[in-house]
Structure 1
Amino acid sequence: MKGFRFSAVEAAIKKPGRLDLALIFSDYPAQVAAVYTTNKVQAAPVLISRERSKNGRCRALLVNSGNANACTGEQGMADALECGRRTAEALGLSDEELLIASTGVIGQPLPMERFKKGIQPLVDGLDHGTLDDVARAIMTTDTFEKIERRSGEAGGKPYSIRGIAKGAGMIHPNMATMLSFLVTDAEVDGAFLKSAFTEAVDGSFNAITVDNDTSTNDTAVIFANGAAQNPSIKAGTPEGAAFAALLHDVLLSLAKLIVKDGEGATKFVEIRVKGAANQADAKKAALAVANSMLVKTAFFGQDANWGRIIAAIGYSGADVQQDRVEIRFDDVVMATGGVFAGGDAEAAGTRVLQQKEFRVTIDLKLGAGEAVVFTSDLSYDYVRINADYRT
């Protein structure tokens, strides 16, 4: 990856023994696009980065795990600004050129002395670190790092897109706790980068759910520094379409990894709604099913209880006519015309739910609206992990 450097150190922000403070740095001024949580309670780093990314140009991103710096009042804002200022100064940047992100426990002040001690080693390590180090440093309850890479070409010049993400619980993004950072050495028109990134996020991170909780810290950012020296990629061109497709592919792959790593998850489930009156109704129905605690526990128990699914569809707010609904588990018809398909379907459906990955298809037979949402089951381990999270 041309023109980007990475670093991660152990600052013992929550506890020692792991990387937890990381830096992404572009050697050149970069176009930046970002999407943030829609939760009305927002962490200090989100408020700061939201303002700084509005101008569409930044050089670096400072991120920590172990502490969200959310609901920490004026002191939390001051701490975030000071951490950013010290890092920007060490990099030779203005404060406005640096974005900040945090993830971890809400409501706890940053351990500033440990944080400040980590900044200079972090900057000094830029010539030795990797994006994989950053991916490890941003993990909280994740069980593995999430990294995706793709390559493209524009004007005869090859370029790369690399992305990382973290998230396993508090996952229901509206832009999960989730962070995602992407870097590309492609030269990309700023307006096109913003629209392509927003659209790709909507079709990926906004199409997953683990536990129906939207974080105070959700942040997704892409930096494009043009080091590949390709002609600027613009909207309405074949190169633009190809770049947007690669970007969507990276984000969707990362989003799926988040669901597969869902806290305590044993199942990865695609909820596909078709035949809805419109796309908005399809998304409502898909999310209602994907977020239903009863549906998710049935998936965990391998119980082919399609009744919980049709109930969720009914309260979703989508236009539904009960006597038209068809529900399938993979290719097994569980209900048609809103009525149970019979005992053979029960047995076949149970076999589908015994798989680690499967699809639930819901046909409302009212129109052309379609939507896909990815979800996980809800297991005993989810309760254990979240009951012990702060201890």
Structure 2
Amino acid sequence: MAINLTIPKMVFAIEGIEIGVTEAGIKKENRKDLTVFKLDEGTTVSGVFTKNLFCAAPVQIAKKHLLLGKPIRSLVINTGNANAGTGQNGLKNAQTICSSLGNLLKIEDCQVLPFSTGVVLEPLPVDKILNNLYKAVLKSDKNNWMEAAYGIMTTDTIPKIFSEQFTIDQKVFTITGISKGAGMIHPNMATMLGFIGTDIGIKQSLLDKIIKDLADKSFNRITIDGDTSTNDSFIIMATGKSKIKLESEHDSNYHIILDALAKAASDLAQKIVRDAEGATKFITLQVEKAASKEEALAIAYSVAKSPLVKTAFYASDPNIGRILVAIGYSNTNIPINKVKIWLNDLLIVENGELSKFYTEESGKKVMKQSEIVIKISLNNGYFAEKVYTCDLSHDYVTINSDYRS
């Protein structure tokens, strides 16, 4: 069951983006599994992708199409099959889908970005996609963001969507985005797909920089099980339909817009953790007073990835020594006698040893909560970082052992 995951009451359309969703029967019948985005001329698009060496065929094609520099006019997303580990046939199939959609929309195939998610090392049922692309195109509508959020789900239990309107100098701009992911989550990036649209006009070179900064603070700050997938992709589409334009980091509105986009990316990333496979608790690792960003992240991830820590939280068992152990093997050189650790507001470790004020009863009370912050102060510098994770339950094993059935 998702942890405090909410669906927005109002979902705002993005002028310049239309979405069509249909059923292609890729893995299961009567399930929305094929989504097409249509983008108006003038839209700038940028993306970041998985660093897995076995990156999927659609990732390879999408990266190639972006590098060609022609305006991207469409995205196509299928669930039920990852088209990864499929060799030259996989590349050919991804390219064929782009060509077919390009013909339907009267654009070049290099103006289409393909995305897939699902089981790895299985041939893509490309004919099912090709035979149903036209249905998705016919259903295109600017108000189909929620349909798309459902259409890209795999083991997700709830659609993940962000939608807000913001105001700058009495001018309104909109940001709406969707994401999917529940397992095989760990940078770089997680097994997720994320798509954010905005009606701001953003210069291409600037958008290319912005998306890397956003990914670093959002989708690259989550971990569920330590696995990095083959298909991870995060895309931003800026249509320029509002009266707000962004040309440079020196623009007066730059940080306001960046903060709004960061809010969307962080929300969508955290929703992935909140809907993690079998999770019952949402955990924030907050490392403070580190000597460097790298030191803070090394310790945060060491604790966040520990199966022993995660299973203890699932059981609400205050076996807090597991946190100390995970910090100790993080391959950092910290002054251990200065370390302090809190569970929410409860001080559990002081000067590298058990706090004299801590009791097991108080620890258990905190660990029973659905949202927990593990704050670690290193007293070794001025850097701070956050990583988001969850507990590890019996249901995680059940879901993944039955994934292909």
Q: TM-score, normalised by structure 2?
A: 0.94
Unaligned segments of structure 2, at least 5 residues: 1-13
Q: Which moved more, 1:362-371 or 1:51-60?
A: 51-60
Alignment partner, residue 50 of structure 2 = 37
Shift of 1:319: 2.1
Unaligned segments of structure 1, at least 5 residues: none
Amino acid at match of 1:112: V
Q: 1:151 to 1:306 in 2, by over 3 A?
A: same
Q: Which moved more, 1:3-12 or 1:23-32?
A: 23-32
Indicate yes or no: 2:274 matched with 1:260.
yes
Distance 2:209 2:118 in 1: 29
Shift of 1:333: 0.9
SS at match of 2:228: coil
Distance 2:402 2:173 in 1: 43
Alignment partner, residue 112 of structure 1 = 126
Distance 2:391 2:337 in 1: 28
Distance 1:232 1:275 in 2: 34
Alignment partner, residue 97 of structure 2 = 83
Distance 1:379 1:231 in 2: 46
Q: Deviations over 1:15-51 (max 9, x none)?
A: 1121000011112231111000011111000000011
The one of 171, 179, 184 equivalent to 1:170 is 184
Shift of 1:192: 1.7
Shift of 1:106: 0.3
Distance 2:71 2:333 in 1: 43
Alignment partner, residue 313 of structure 1 = 327
The one of 289, 297, 310 equivalent to 1:296 is 310
Contact 2:70 2:110 in 1 (8 A): no
Q: Which moved more, 1:337-346 or 1:357-366?
A: 337-346
Q: Which moved more, 1:167-176 or 1:36-45?
A: 167-176
Contact 1:233 1:239 in 2 (8 A): no
Percent identical: 39
TM alignment of 1:1-20, pairs within 5 A: 1-20=14-33
Contact 2:163 2:174 in 1 (8 A): yes
Contact 1:175 1:202 in 2 (8 A): no
The one of 202, 222, 228 equivalent to 1:214 is 228
Amino acid at match of 2:48: V
Alignment partner, residue 323 of structure 1 = 337
Distance 1:317 1:143 in 2: 36
Alignment partner, residue 189 of structure 1 = 203
Distance 1:107 1:281 in 2: 36
TM alignment of 1:232-381, pairs within 5 A: 232-342=246-356, 344-381=358-395
SS at match of 2:379: coil
Q: 1:72 to 1:129 in 2, by over 3 A?
A: farther
Contact 1:282 1:318 in 2 (8 A): no
The one of 119, 126, 130 equivalent to 2:140 is 126
Alignment partner, residue 225 of structure 1 = 239
Q: Deviations over 1:42-82 (max 9, x none)?
A: 10000000111232731110000000000011111111111
Amino acid at match of 1:291: K
Q: Deviations over 1:168-195 (max 9, x none)?
A: 0010021422000111111112222121
Looking at secondary structure, tell me which structure has more helix per residue: 1
Shift of 1:115: 1.3
Distance 1:156 1:343 in 2: 52
Distance 2:209 2:22 in 1: 34
Contact 2:314 2:391 in 1 (8 A): yes
Indicate yes or no: 2:63 matched with 1:46.
no
Contact 2:348 2:358 in 1 (8 A): no
Contact 2:347 2:358 in 1 (8 A): no
TM alignment of 1:139-154, pairs within 5 A: 139-153=153-167
Distance 2:288 2:36 in 1: 42
Alignment partner, residue 23 of structure 1 = 36
Distance 1:353 1:97 in 2: 49
SS at match of 1:29: coil
Q: Deviations over 1:126-181 (max 9, x none)?
A: 14860111111110000000000122345654221111000000100214220001
Distance 2:79 2:299 in 1: 34
Give the root-mean-square deviation of aligned CA atoms.
1.5
Distance 2:404 2:357 in 1: 46
Give aligned pairs, total.
Answer: 391
SS at match of 1:384: helix
Alignment partner, residue 151 of structure 2 = 137
Contact 2:246 2:254 in 1 (8 A): no
Alignment partner, residue 11 of structure 2 = none
Shift of 1:308: 0.9
